[in-house]
């Protein structure tokens, strides 16, 4: 076609002219087309056709919207969503393609997509008093996308419980020290609470929990800890339901170290305390045990508290006004009910190693004020630590109740394990 010749209307001569040729040329010149779009002219539509847009463009057609509808629970903006219930995302007339739930730190919450792709449910527990963001996407049967987003906050529990634990974080203890946890509310779902608490040791050893009652859970191995063991208590009680409507608040680790091995045997027939440290006898001390009217408990006891000096009043242990000594030196607690191994400055020296006259405690010779480091009581106190073992033999009384102090060692391993909830 000779494009240099044209008729009076500007149409080229010498070829097959057609409207299609003009449109093809315009489509190949987008800048000119854009300029034409600024003009106001427009032709009439052809018979049965559609009027072109100004400048010759066809009108754009908006894509159909997806028919998939996504629903997120809890709803967007919720401020007291139940933290014990999962997040759910469902879609009608479509299939979920992605769901992401994150907390305020950016941590993602795990979940499970249903086999048919119509729903997603969180599988990891939510935390109380925490903000979450949900982003979900889906597509309908024609692959048209849809999305939805929500933000909500979980409620804080109105009723909570905590566990008071011993020993303390960072402490060094004796080989008999159990992990003992006392709860401030009765626990009815013991399995849930025990599953949220673990105790591990290095070097490893089997450790089992035992419930003494609804408020006390202790952990120990089958035998005394090996010296040098590192023990870690892992509390993951936050938002665990200990009872209906009562939730835990703690999430922390507590680590302690087992020091040297020291086990002392108080033979109350011979009235001698024999101290063995790391397998060697390191000291023997004459003692006074409980009288025939107030015999000392027998069995294995663990030192749970130590006082350089303390007051002992018989009224606090149900013995009326028999004694009230304001300055008992070098006192170390063996039972919750009031059994101590302590210094004694008021008894004659001749009684130590020869008679049992106490109200149930084990007494070593001492001086008032406890300021003489060379007395039996002072030396034994200086060599001791919380968690050390004192085994009482030949006391003439029954074995101490395992729950009376940190004295679970008086149970067989089978009986101890029977008290576990898991």
- We find that the CATH architecture of domain 69-153 is Sandwich (2.60)
Q: What is the mean pLDDT of the chain?
A: 88
What's residue 85's pLDDT?
A: 94
Domain boundaries, the chain: 69-153, 160-258, 262-410
Per-residue pLDDT tens over the stretch 36-79: 333 333 333 433 444 444 445 555 666 789 999 999 999 999 99
pLDDT score recorded for residue 121: 98
Average pLDDT over residues 83-105: 97
Over the stretch 139-161, which tens digit does the pLDDT of each residue have? Answer: 999 999 999 999 999 999 999 99
Q: Hey, what CATH topology would domain 262-410 get?
A: L,D-transpeptidase catalytic domain-like (2.40.440)
Give first-to-last CA distance, the chain, whole Å. Answer: 93
Buried b (16+ CB within 10 A) or exposed e, 13-50: eeeeeeeeeeeeeeeeeeeeeeeeeeeeeeeeeeeeee
User: What is the pLDDT, as a whole number, of residue 353?
Assistant: 97
| CA distance linking residue 390 with residue 375, whole number of Å | 19
Indicate if 294 belongs to the active site. Answer: no
CATH code that applies to domain 160-258: 2.60.40.3710
The yes-or-no answer on residue 342 being catalytic is: yes
Q: What is the pLDDT of residue 314?
A: 78
Residue 95, SS3 per DSSP: strand
Cis before 319 (ω within 30): no
Which residue of the set 210, 330, 359, 361 is catalytic? 361
Residues of the chain with pLDDT > 70: what percent? 85
Which residue from 361, 377, 288 is spatially nearest to 323, judged by alpha carbons? 361
pTM over cut 0.95: no
Span 350-406, pLDDT tens digits: 999 999 999 999 999 999 999 999 999 999 999 999 999 999 999 999 999 999 999
* Cβ–Cβ < 8 Å for 335, 406: no
Q: Catalytic pick from 210, 330, 342, 359? A: 342
Residue 5 has pLDDT above 70, yes or no: no
Note the pLDDT tens digit of each residue in 237-282. 999 999 999 999 999 999 999 999 999 999 999 999 999 999 999 9
Residue 13 or 266, more confident: 266
- Residue 315 is predicted with a pLDDT of 81
Give pLDDT, residue 59: 57
Domains 69-153 and 262-410 share a fold: no
What angle in degrees, to the nearest 10, is found between the helix axes of 30-37 and 19-27? 100
């Amino acid at each position: 076609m000779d494009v240099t010749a044209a008729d009076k209307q500007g149409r080229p001569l010498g070829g097959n002219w057609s409207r299609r040729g003009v449109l093809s040329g315009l489509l190949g010149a987008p800048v000119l087309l854009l300029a034409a779009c600024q003009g106001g002219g427009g032709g009439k539509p052809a018979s049965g056709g559609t009027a072109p847009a100004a400048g010759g463009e066809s009108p754009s057609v908006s894509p159909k919207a997806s028919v998939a509808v996504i629903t997120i629970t809890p709803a967007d903006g919720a401020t007291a969503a139940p933290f014990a219930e999962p997040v759910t995302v469902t879609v009608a007339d479509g299939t979920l393609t992605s769901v992401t739930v994150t907390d305020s730190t950016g941590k993602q919450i795990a979940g499970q997509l249903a086999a048919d792709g119509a729903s997603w449910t969180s599988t990891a527990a939510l935390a109380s008093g925490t903000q979450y963001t949900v982003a979900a996407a889906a597509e309908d049967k024609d692959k048209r996308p849809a999305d939805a987003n929500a933000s909500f906050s979980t409620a804080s529990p109105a009723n909570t419980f905590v566990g008071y634990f011993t020993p303390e974080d960072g402490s060094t203890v004796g080989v008999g020290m159990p992990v003992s946890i006392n709860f401030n509310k009765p626990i009815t779902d013991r399995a849930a609470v025990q599953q949220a608490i673990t105790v591990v040791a290095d070097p490893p050893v089997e450790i089992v929990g035992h419930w003494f009652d609804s408020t006390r859970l202790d952990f120990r191995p089958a035998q005394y800890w090996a010296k040098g063991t590192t023990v870690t208590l892992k509390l993951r009680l936050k938002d665990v339901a200990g009872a209906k409507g009562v939730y835990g608040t703690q999430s922390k680790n507590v680590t302690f170290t087992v020091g040297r091995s020291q086990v002392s045997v108080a033979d109350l027939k011979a009235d001698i305390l024999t101290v063995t440290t790391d397998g060697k006898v390191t000291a023997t001390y004459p003692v006074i045990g409980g009288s025939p009217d107030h015999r000392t408990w027998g069995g294995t006891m663990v030192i749970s508290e130590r006082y350089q000096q303390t007051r002992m009043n018989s009224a606090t242990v149900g013995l009326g006004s028999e004694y009230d000594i304001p300055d008992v030196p070098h006192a170390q607690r063996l039972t919750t009910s009031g059994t101590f191994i302590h210094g004694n400055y008021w008894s004659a020296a001749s009684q130590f190693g020869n008679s049992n006259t106490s109200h149930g405690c084990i007494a070593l010779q001492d001086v008032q004020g406890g300021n003489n480091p060379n007395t039996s009581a002072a030396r034994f106190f200086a060599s001791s630590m919380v968690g050390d073992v004192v085994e009482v033999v030949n006391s003439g009384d029954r074995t101490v109740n395992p729950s009376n102090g940190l004295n679970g060692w008086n149970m067989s391993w089978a009986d101890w394990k029977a008290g576990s909830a898991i």
